Amino acid sequence: MGVVIESSVWVPSSSVYIFIFLSCFFSLSLFPFYLSKHAPTKSPPFYDHPTFASSLRFQRYFLLLYSLASVLEGLWSVYGEFELVYYGITKEDTVTFMLIGFGAALFVGSFLGLLSDLIGRKKSCLVFYIFHLVVGIWKRITSSPSFWVANVCLSLATSIFSFSFETWAVVEHDKGHRQDLLNETFWLMTFFESAALIGSQVMSNWMVGGNLEKEIACPSTAAILTAIVGIICISRVYGGSPQTVTFKEYKVSFYSYILCDRRIWLLACAQSCLHFSIVVFWILWAPTLVADGREVYLGLMYPCVLGARMLGSTLFPWFINAPLRTEDCLVYAFIIQGLLLSIIAFDYQEIGALVTQYFLFHACVGLILPSLARLRTMYVPNELRGGMISLSLAPTNAAILFILMQRGYYRTVENSEVIAFAAVGLFAAAGCMYVLKRLGKQPYQNWHKL
């Protein structure tokens, strides 16, 4: 007599997607009414501002370029795992490729922000698209691509993505564009990035389809076309003011305004801790979900967590117009994130409870990202912003390298310990924000010009 083992498959309810959509819709729709009643001072109508047309034109064009870049990042993150499985790459080799990628981000990517400040931000954005174009062509023309070459290029592209577009937006807004659009641009960047990542997943699934042999290269073709469109769009707007600062002047300014300012160190520490927790989440979220042996459709979970990030970003304009300082808001958000990861690390949960905690975690991420960008505008000079961001991610990449070695090769740490370490980092980030508030002698003075 045979024994039939029934497999249990967990899928999120369709009501989750409806809830996310409606929450984002009401958050965006009700905010203008809230602002009209609770704004501290009445400002002239937006359309009466003389630079309204040029400011809005730049914001739309910039968000288009940023969305294209996010699609490229999402294509490789979603399609890359499937590609490794298709070519029969083992788990040990996958860990090796990850080590190579994070090593490139640590030893090379950490200094790309300094180079961006010297050569220009739009040139850095152009280099980002060129990296993706090279990887797409490389994978399209080779039957068995060299993954370590692709990982190095994509890791460097991700490093550029982390600072180049933000610094470009801030510098352009400083050239006469409306400054009140800058905060709006910050949260729209997070919102459009999350939406583009969801779109890239849909695109990858649609292109691959069911015929793997014929359609395995389709995402590479899409990446090539998207990169070409990005290069053309960047070239059309290229022609900003040339960089006149010398390396010697930049070095002196960086030491004076960045390395000698405790507030910048606190801000960089919080940023590094957040980035580390996000990387840990994306590495361990799948093993954590399937720990009890049940099957989970990760493709249905991916839009949920990114939708939560979109929802969190729509809350940002509510908080910056509330009687609450940005540092205070970040303290609470970091503490909530730390508590959520602590529960995930030390307390076994059903999949539904885990998904809820993932949802809240990424909702906080959506709120924190534009808030940190706003603080960087308040404390970091524009001319040094790229170098500050890229160097602040160096400790994160070093920590990820260490954890990959200990977990992937030597098996000396468990997943729960890694998640607990990320939770400790988030509590440390909350402490940094608390101290930053105490140290900020002129908290809302935009002194970002040297």
pLDDT of residue 424: 96
Burial of 449 (0-12, 13-18, 19+ CB in 10 A): exposed
pLDDT value, residue 162: 93
Tell me whether residue 152 is exposed, middle or buried, using C-beta atoms within 10 angstroms of its C-beta: 0 to 12, 13 to 18, 19 or more: buried
Stretches where the chain sits below pLDDT 70 are 1-8, 38-53, 143-145, 176-179, 208-217, 238-244, 291-294, 348, 440-450
At 354, list the tokens. Answer: 């885990």
Please report the sign of the dihedral spanned by the C-alpha atoms of residue 410, residue 414, residue 419, residue 422: negative
**Terminal-residue alpha carbon distance, the chain:** 81
What are the sequence ranges of the domains in the chain? 60-438
Q: Which residues pair with 9 in a beta bridge?
A: 295
Place of tokens 């630079």: 51
Query: What is the spatial distance between Cα 422 and Cα 407, in angstroms, rounded to a whole number?
Result: 15
Return the CATH superfamily for domain 60-438: MFS general substrate transporter like domains (1.20.1250.20)
pLDDT, position 83: 78
Taking residue 104's Cβ as centre, other Cβ atoms within 10 Å add up to 20
Listed residue (330, 284, 8, 275) closest to 163, CA to CA: 275
**Closest among 437, 448, 445, 441 to 270, alpha carbons compared:** 437
Q: Is the distance from CB of 393 to CB of 272 less than 8 angstroms?
A: yes
Question: Residue 2's pLDDT is what?
Answer: 46
Sign of torsion over alpha carbons 141, 142, 143, 146: negative
Q: What angle do CA 438, 181, 256 make, to 5 degrees?
A: 45
